Structure 1
Amino acid sequence: MLTLTKRSYRGETDLEAIVNLWEACEAVDQLEQWTTVSELERDFNDPSFDKQRDLQLWEDETGKLIASATLWHPLGELTDGYLGFRVHPDVRGRTLEGEIINWGEERLRELAKEQGVTSVKLRCSSRDNRFDRIAILQENGFSADRYFLTMERSLEEPLPQPQIPAGFTVRSVIPEKDAEAWVEMHNQSFIDHWNHQDLALEEYKHWRSNPDYRPELDLVAIAPDGTFASYCYSAIYPEDNKRSGRQEGWVNTLGTRRGFRRLGLGKAMLLSGMQKLLAAGMNLAKIGVDYDNPNGARQLYESVGFRKVYTWVSYYKQI
């Protein structure tokens, strides 16, 4: 009989144990999802995250950490929350996953009550080949509602030259100077996308303070009238590359605001971002995309050589 103790986060002393839990899960799941103490610190210091209320840990009778769960939610209006959890492979498939989901539901109800919201969705995701996790989600009332592709493209193959529309200028972002304009552009670019939630200025500033952030990989296209019209924000994660043995970079976010679409800006910014990754020594570019993106993002990526690697499925449960 497995005896479990649920508890809240106790601070930095828990970080190494959470890293070890991720390692144990990755050894079995092979999702290329690792973490470090410094990455967890940055995540947990996100302005939208309450370390004492949005994080829960489970230990066995020896004090070993065997599960962790987080509930992520926006700083602004609450429409849904994202439940992330990891369970040690040795104790999966019992009742613990159900207990974790129940905790996520209760935490989301608590948030909804605080904000006076009557209907919210609890979300969770799974790789499409994680049949054990999918079965657990379905058994606990979750339904699939969206599919996301992870795609990659070799940077060792020739890259077309970006064709910047006449009158537009492309430069690297200056976070201290451009923060408000960038956030406004981002929110306007994704306002008509599935499940969009506005990015808060505080969150932008938090993530641009990441030591791995490289301004030369953060590009913006500025219209003749000075409007921030399109952008490509790429990133390199040295720790992940060290573990995988690859030199890969991610095109994290690519967007064009309404009123500036169908001008070729999206393709030009994508190619510009890929060139920056190549110049930084990367030989592989990766990107994530909503399969049903309304503006043809998947087709754009395929047109410049990206191909699907795997699929993630978004699940939800009405609370």
Structure 2
Amino acid sequence: MLTLTMRPYGGEADLEAIAHLLNTCAEFDRQDDWISVSELRLEFDDPSIDKQRDICLWEDADGKLIGMGQMWIPPSGDNNDGFLWFNVHPQSRGGYLEKQAIAWGEQRMREVATSRGVCARLRAGSRDDNSVRMAILESCGFTPDRYFLRMERSLVEPLPEPQFPEGFTLRQLQGEQEVEAWVEMFNQTFIDHWNYHPLTVESFQHWLTDPNYKPELDLVAIAPDGTFAAFCYCYINPEENEHFARKEGWIAELGTRRGFRKIGLGRAMLLAGMHQLKAAGMDTAKLGVDADNPNGALQLYESVGFRKLDTNISYYKDI
């Protein structure tokens, strides 16, 4: 049996080893992902994360990092689902350490349930071609309940021009003074979606400090009465693109506020975002979508040429 040391996150000194572990796992699992130390730092500094209690590390007898668990726990008053991400070095896999990480996540959610006086649910995920991980989750009592697709579309091929409803204005978000209006629009857009969690102004402000944030990729549609009606936030990761020698950008967030749907805003915003990515020199656009999105998002993406790359399964376990 492995000789393991389990400990909390130790701060800046751990970032390099965590990034190396995550990138080693992604390469082994043929996942098209790569993360930098600066990205990890930004992620861990999100005000919604308790770094001491929501990140856990496992080291072998030589002090090498071989496992990591990370939790995201919604603020009190939100629904009580916690999200667990865990990674185990390919040479240390086999079920034991994975189950240790899951047990840690379950214990963390029990603490939350007890402190809030509620029933809680733990969520974790797996790509649908990772049969070993899926088997481990199911052996620990998890049940699959939702499927998410990752899709891509070439930006080299012809791209239709966006057509906005009469009276609507497309522009970029104008900095700090519009943060509250954007967050309110975001929450009103997704409040009727599966597993919705409200976005806070603090978290949004934190992510605006990302060195890779570009205002020209943060688009909003303004209704004739001045209401923030729809949005498309795109993202380019230059370090990841350099690592893979590619030119890809993401449609990271796309949505239309309730009351403004079914008039073509979603399609117009999507196309506007894709044009911005193309103008920034990208040749491929990617996005993720809930396969059962109630507002026809999958059909929208397919209608403008996106195709599926892979499928991720969301699992849950009641605590």
> Identity of paired residues, percent?
59
Residue 23 of structure 1 and its aligned partner are, at CA, apart by 2.6
Count of aligned pairs between the two proteins: 318
State the secondary structure of the residue aligned to 1:292: coil
Q: Residue 295 of structure 2 aligns with which residue?
A: 295
The TM-score with structure 1 as length reference comes to: 0.98
Q: Residue 245 of structure 1 aligns with which residue?
A: 245
State the secondary structure of the residue aligned to 2:61: coil
Supply the AA of the counterpart residue of 2:100. Answer: E
Residue 98 of structure 1 and its aligned partner are, at CA, apart by 0.9
State the secondary structure of the residue aligned to 2:234: strand
Instruction: Provide the C-alpha distance between the structure 2 equivalents of 1:222 and 1:235, rounded to a whole number of angstroms.
Output: 21
Q: Residue 188 of structure 1 aligns with which residue?
A: 188
State the secondary structure of the residue aligned to 2:62: coil
Residue 174 of structure 1 and its aligned partner are, at CA, apart by 1.7
Instruction: Provide the C-alpha distance between the structure 1 equivalents of 2:211 and 2:163, rounded to a whole number of angstroms.
Output: 31
State the secondary structure of the residue aligned to 1:220: strand
Instruction: Provide the C-alpha distance between the structure 2 equivalents of 1:91 and 1:318, rounded to a whole number of angstroms.
Output: 28
Q: Residue 115 of structure 1 aligns with which residue?
A: 116
State the secondary structure of the residue aligned to 1:109: helix
Instruction: Provide the C-alpha distance between the structure 2 equivalents of 1:99 and 1:168, rounded to a whole number of angstroms.
Output: 52
Q: Residue 30 of structure 1 aligns with which residue?
A: 30
Supply the AA of the counterpart residue of 2:254. Answer: L
Task: Please give the per-residue CA displacement for 1:258-300, whole angstroms capped at 9, x wherever unaligned.
Answer: 1101110000000000000000000000011100100000000
- 8 Å CA contact retained: 1:153, 1:284: yes
State the secondary structure of the residue aligned to 1:138: helix
- 8 Å CA contact retained: 2:95, 2:136: no
Structure 1 residue 80 corresponds to structure 2 residue 76: no
Pairing 1:36-185 to 2, within 5 Å after superposition: 36-76=36-76, 77-117=78-118, 119-185=119-185
Instruction: Provide the C-alpha distance between the structure 2 equivalents of 1:156 and 1:34, rounded to a whole number of angstroms.
Output: 24
State the secondary structure of the residue aligned to 1:84: strand
State the secondary structure of the residue aligned to 1:298: helix
State the secondary structure of the residue aligned to 2:137: helix
- 8 Å CA contact retained: 2:79, 2:197: no
Q: Residue 254 of structure 1 aligns with which residue?
A: 254
Instruction: Provide the C-alpha distance between the structure 2 equivalents of 1:289 and 1:94, rounded to a whole number of angstroms.
Output: 29
- 8 Å CA contact retained: 1:78, 1:112: no
State the secondary structure of the residue aligned to 1:254: strand
Instruction: Provide the C-alpha distance between the structure 1 equivalents of 2:299 and 2:314, rounded to a whole number of angstroms.
Output: 21
Task: Please give the per-residue CA displacement for 1:133-165, whole angstroms capped at 9, x wherever unaligned.
Answer: 101000000010000111110000111110011
Q: Residue 277 of structure 1 aligns with which residue?
A: 277
- 8 Å CA contact retained: 1:47, 1:75: no
Residue 70 of structure 1 and its aligned partner are, at CA, apart by 0.4
- 8 Å CA contact retained: 1:154, 1:283: yes
Supply the AA of the counterpart residue of 1:197. Answer: H
The TM-score with structure 2 as length reference comes to: 0.98
Aligned CA RMSD, in angstroms, stands at 1.0
- 8 Å CA contact retained: 2:150, 2:308: yes
Task: Please give the per-residue CA displacement for 1:34-92, whole angstroms capped at 9, x wherever unaligned.
Answer: 21111111111111101100010001111111101001112342421110011011110
Identify if the C-alpha distance between structure 1 residues 262 and 78 changes in structure 2 by more than 3 Å, giving closer, same or farther: closer
Q: Residue 208 of structure 1 aligns with which residue?
A: 208
Q: Which region of structure 1 is more displaced relative to structure 2, 21-30 or 134-143?
A: 21-30
Residue 18 of structure 1 and its aligned partner are, at CA, apart by 0.7
Q: Which region of structure 1 is more displaced relative to structure 2, 237-246 or 123-132?
A: 237-246
State the secondary structure of the residue aligned to 2:82: strand
Instruction: Provide the C-alpha distance between the structure 2 equivalents of 1:20 and 1:266, rounded to a whole number of angstroms.
Output: 38
Supply the AA of the counterpart residue of 2:302. Answer: E
Task: Please give the per-residue CA displacement for 1:202-247, whole angstroms capped at 9, x wherever unaligned.
Answer: 1110111111001100000000111000010110011111122210
Instruction: Provide the C-alpha distance between the structure 1 equivalents of 2:290 and 2:22, rounded to a whole number of angstroms.
Output: 26
Supply the AA of the counterpart residue of 2:197. Answer: Q
Instruction: Provide the C-alpha distance between the structure 2 equivalents of 1:254 and 1:27, rounded to a whole number of angstroms.
Output: 28
